[in-house]
């Protein structure tokens, strides 16, 4: 079901967390973070929050530590902002989709010259 309750709650959480991370979280470890997706379990008790860190020097681990430290605060704020009986536990995960896409593009670029040579011959 593309428009399930869990998906709608995930979208709401993504919007609110984006706002909270921009304006309310002061932890310097968090820095510039983009939330790419939120998946919520069908029972709405847990949410996996996929993030991309814009930290310089590969500070993704520090960013995740900062987000984990702020998760209680963020969950409380979500409880105040969203009209839900249960606010899901937040688990922050680094989103590696862009890394995988770049790797695949690199591999495909590596294949391209071989294809051109076989067409010429």
pLDDT of residue 55: 67
pLDDT of residue 54: 77
pLDDT of residue 83: 87
CATH number, domain containing residue 29: 3.30.300.20
Q: What backbone torsions phi and psi does residue 15 show, to the nearest 5 degrees? A: -65, -50
Domain enclosing residue 19, as ranges: 5-96
Cα–Cα dist 57/72, whole Å? 27
pLDDT of residue 1: 46
Within a domain: 64: yes
**Is the separation of the CB atoms in 14 and 36 below 8 Å?**
no
pLDDT tens, per residue, the chain with 121 residues: 456 899 999 999 999 999 999 998 888 888 888 999 999 999 999 999 999 887 665 678 889 999 999 999 999 999 999 988 999 999 999 987 777 777 888 888 887 665 455 555 5
pLDDT of residue 53: 84
Within a domain: 82: yes
pLDDT of residue 120: 56
Within a domain: 33: yes
Q: What backbone torsions phi and psi does residue 68 show, to the nearest 5 degrees? A: -65, -40
Query: At what angle are helices 5-23 and 60-81 packed, to 10 degrees?
Result: 110
Cα–Cα dist 100/63, whole Å? 20
Domain count, the chain: 1
Query: How many residues does the structure list for the chain?
Result: 121
pLDDT of residue 104: 82
């Amino acid at each position: 079901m593309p428009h399930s309750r869990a998906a709608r709650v995930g979208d709401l959480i993504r919007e609110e967390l984006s706002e909270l991370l921009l304006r309310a979280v002061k932890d310097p470890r968090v820095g510039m973070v983009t939330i790419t997706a939120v998946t919520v379990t069908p029972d709405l008790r847990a949410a996996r929050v996929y993030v991309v860190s814009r930290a310089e020097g590969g500070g993704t681990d520090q960013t995740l530590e900062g987000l984990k430290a702020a998760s209680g605060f963020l969950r409380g704020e979500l409880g105040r902002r969203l009209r839900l009986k249960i606010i899901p536990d937040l688990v922050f995960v680094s989103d590696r989709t862009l890394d995988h896409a770049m790797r695949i593009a690199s591999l495909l670029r590596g294949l391209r010259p071989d294809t051109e040579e076989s067409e010429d011959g």
